[in-house]
Amino acid sequence: MSARIYSPSKTATQSGASKSKRWLLEYEAASPRTADPLMGWTSSSDMLSQVKLWFETKDEAVAYARAKGLAFRVEEPKQPVRKGMSYTDNFRHNRIGTWTH
């Protein structure tokens, strides 16, 4: 049984960073998901795939996994790279993109 520890990124509708500072421990799937032939729903016999444990810090999640004897991997969060632009950059003479209007 192995687990994945990561900090989920914020959703597209989330403007602040309130829930993006917590860490999540999820168990890896032990058995593949199967499709129901009648309805097409997917199901699994693995009950641990439904368990999600939230922690305030990465160290707490790692300590929990070690205490329970779980094999785990930690995925560090990727920070977005923001390109600094100003409004006047839209009107430069050496602009890369073409005008659309």
pLDDT digits (tens, 9 = 90+) for 30-78: 888 889 888 989 888 888 888 999 999 999 999 999 999 999 999 998 8
The pairing of strands 42-43 and 52-55 is unpaired
- Tokens 């989920």, located at residue: 8
Is the predicted pLDDT of residue 100 greater than 70, yes or no? Answer: no
Q: Please, what are the domains in the chain?
A: 1-8+20-30+46-77 (3.30.160.190)
- Tokens 């009950």, located at residue: 47
Is the predicted pLDDT of residue 6 greater than 80, yes or no? Answer: yes
Mean pLDDT of the chain: 85
pLDDT number for residue 19: 67
